[in-house]
Amino acid sequence: MFYQRWFKQRWILVVIGLAIADTVLSIWIGQQSYRWVPPQASAESILVDDLFCLMTTVGSLIFFGVVGTLVYSMIFQRSPKYDTSDGPPIEGNLKLEVIWTVIPSIVIVGIAFASYQTYDRMEILGDIGPKSLGMATANAAPMTAEVVKTDPIEVRARQWAWEFYYPEQAVSSTELHLPVNQRANLKLTSEDVLHGFFVPAFRIKQDIIPGREIDFEFTPIREGRYRVRDSDYSGTYFAANQSTVVVESAAAYQDWLAMAAAQSPTPAQNRAYREFQRSRENPNSQGWATVEPAAPPVVNYASSDEESYE
């Protein structure tokens, strides 16, 4: 009698101990998750990383719980070789089934709510509809105190080059320069097919839809050079369609704008165009027919695509 109760209690203790171990392990893995992503270079990235940490922690808890149970069964509950008997005919347990319906539901609602809040605080996306619908959703006047807004930087995507145009200074560039700690406003347009504006260090991404102008915004918070990648498959030279975003102090940013404005437009280097010309000259080219890349953009500031980034 006593032994039975002791045995039962010991089981409860073991289960509690394992649950604590699972929790500790999961929290540790959750903390590791910050190291799996690029440096946090935008305000949005902090929000997204916190959310990712939360989901990694909860996910690890579930994963190790479920897999641990399975592995325990596989190791310790094996049938002896010549034992043909059956296990206990347990067909279900209402209480248990209710528990594993209700608790995951609550967890899911929690994650969904956290995600909603994160998305709400990011506020990256402006008007997205087709051009003709734009009028219906445009706000009459900005609600915030900051009435004077700079014109958004135009991001022009094409097969296969990025071109960034600063309308106030009439500066064009193949490299995106942004001042640190200021809200960056972009207007995303595409001249041909779908592209995607993706800066991993900022944790932001937006498909660019030909025929639409998409307002997009975020806040860089860390100086440095980061990669801009085309994220929505855009044809033959899709993988080569990359550029650099440079985040710098407000002063350096203004200097750069002034310097670029003073330069006369020159054709930039363009990897897709270069590769295409090379393959056209090569008689042994093994490729199939492709859409011709657009000529390299003619810009005030042309970066070399070999330049480094973080």
CB of 158 to another protein, least distance (A): 12
Question: Which residue, 163 or 213, is less far from another protein as judged by CB?
Answer: 213
Question: In this structure, what are the phi and psi dihedrals at residue 134, rounded to the nearest 5 degrees?
Answer: -55, -40
CB of 249 to another protein, least distance (A): 25
CB of 258 to another protein, least distance (A): 31
What would the DSSP string read from start to end of 115-132? HHHHHHHH--B---S-GG
Question: Which residue, 217 or 261, is less far from another protein as judged by CB?
Answer: 217
Look at strands 153-158 and 184-190 and give their pairing: parallel
CB of 248 to another protein, least distance (A): 21
CB of 43 to another protein, least distance (A): 13
**What does the buried/exposed string (b/e) look like for 187-217 if buried means 16 or more CB atoms within 10 Å of the residue's CB?**
bbbbeebbbbbbbbbbbbebbbbeebbbbbb
DSSP secondary structure code for residue 178 in this structure: E
Whole-angstrom CA distances from 10 to 7, 17, 64, 77 are 5, 10, 22, 19
CB 76 within 8 A of CB 232: no
CB of 245 to another protein, least distance (A): 12
Q: How many CA atoms lie within 13 A of 251 on its CB side?
A: 0
Question: Which residue, 84 or 144, is less far from another protein as judged by CB?
Answer: 84
Question: Which residue, 25 or 298, is less far from another protein as judged by CB?
Answer: 25
Residue 27's SS3 state is helix
Quickly count: other Cβ atoms within 10 Å of residue 104's Cβ: 11
CB of 26 to another protein, least distance (A): 11
Residue-level length of the chain: 310
Question: Which residue, 205 or 222, is less far from another protein as judged by CB?
Answer: 205
CB of 1 to another protein, least distance (A): 24
Separation CA 101–CA 91 (nearest Å): 17
Question: Which residue, 209 or 294, is less far from another protein as judged by CB?
Answer: 209
Separation CA 12–CA 9 (nearest Å): 5
Separation CA 42–CA 140 (nearest Å): 29
Question: Which residue, 59 or 224, is less far from another protein as judged by CB?
Answer: 59
CB 114 within 8 A of CB 54: yes
Question: Which residue, 255 or 310, is less far from another protein as judged by CB?
Answer: 310
